[in-house]
Amino acid sequence: MDSNYSDALSSAAMENTPWQKRAKAAGLSQKVLARLLGHAEITVSRQLRGHWDSGIPRHVIAAILAWEIMTPEQRQAWVDSTENEADKSD
């Protein structure tokens, strides 16, 4: 997604959009979201589909919102930092 994505993002237009679609529209794959959150991809898939009665966890929503407003450089730095942390725990 280009760096103007967050500038063009209309909060009113995106307000009622399902979170799975919002993540995809922002260029955030379930695989990357799972890595950022430290969850299995299947868990993130279920979370985005509202598999549990409690709905979509707030930390998942917060991660998508953060991704939407980040520049590509910030997004890459976030991905890199989570990969570095994962390497340390191995």
Q: Could you report the per-residue pLDDT of 47-75, keeping only the tens digit for each?
A: 998 888 888 999 999 999 999 999 999 99
**All structural domains of the chain with their residue ranges:** 17-89
Decide: pTM greater than 0.75. yes
Q: Could you report the per-residue pLDDT of 2-43, keeping only the tens digit for each?
A: 445 545 455 555 565 799 999 999 999 999 999 999 999 999
Burial 71-90 (b: 16+ CB within 10 A, else e): eeeebeebeeeeeeeeeeee
Q: Locate 5 and state its tokens.
A: 């994505």
Calculate ∠ Cα 15-61-87, nearest 5°: 150
